[in-house]
A and B are shown apart, each in its own frame.
Chain A
Amino acid sequence: MTAQAVERAGRSVARRGVVAWLLVRLTGLLLTVLVLGHFALTHILTDVADTGSAYVAGRWASAVVVGWDWLMLAAAVLHGAFGLRAVIGDYGRPSVRRALVPLLVVLSIAMVALGTWTIARVALS
């Protein structure tokens, strides 16, 4: 690799780091509203014992709630995945870290897929 190629590769890695942390901050800001709102609605304004299937059916009849919940799902998984990637980098042997990152990617995709399937199945039925 030429010196310029090394520099270019370094810059692109640095840019990826910038994008990752910007995403963590942006989703974090979004989640302060989405998650605190969600928790307030389902645990403070409504008692948790009253949030059974009838409550869920009423909630997901609203397109705003469906949009809110899906955005919250996507933002939470993105935020958590990038956060956990940083956490994994700080602990354990390098071999363990290398094994955990792909697991995290698979888990994150599975979480978004499961949540999207749930919402889509209910909203489209």
Chain B
Amino acid sequence: MTIPQLVFLAGFAIVLVTVVAFGLLVVVSASRNVGDSVVLTEVVRRLGRAPADRLEAGRWAFYAHRIGGVAIFAFLVLHLGDVALYAVSPALYDDVHALYGSPPLRVFESALLLAILFHAFNGLRLLAVDLVDVRPVTAYRLLQATAVVTVALWLAGSVVILAPIAR
């Protein structure tokens, strides 16, 4: 492990801590402000209802959009740093970049893909519901479509990203 790699990993640890801490902040604030339960049995009971009764799903999409957005931004700060190493010295860039192919970073890249896909497709959904007034049930269907497209592309992409670990 070289010094630049250690510095990158320290930055990476800060990114992870930031994302987890911000995620906790959003969830704790949410349960305090609007009474959204974070207990699993309550979540299961809520998921068992008809679409028209599940309008708070949009609020959960809002929380996920925020946490994902902060996660992507935090990674962007780190990523601009490692790409800037290329302008300093290509060898230095390669030294740090070798970490990106390691199994833990590949798992992180898969999680990053999930964050980017959800943020992108949920953002397009928000544009759509801003521009066109839709009924509550239609809004819920759009959210379901967002989830389906996100998960489908995420699984397909993750197979490609994670496959070299098995090899």
Contacts and interface: CB of A to CB of B under 8 A. Distances in A.
B127 A29 contact: yes
B84 interface: yes
A57 B86 CA distance: 9
Interface residues of A, number: 35
A32 B87 CA distance: 27
B51 interface: no
B109 A43 contact: yes
B124 A32 contact: yes
Q: A-side binding surface: helix, strand, loop or mixed?
A: helix
B80 interface: yes
Contacts, number: 93
A57 B105 CA distance: 23
B18 to A, nearest CB: 12
Interface in A1-32: 25, 28-29, 31-32
B120 A35 contact: yes
A53 B100 CA distance: 13
Nearest to B109: A43
A117 B85 CA distance: 11
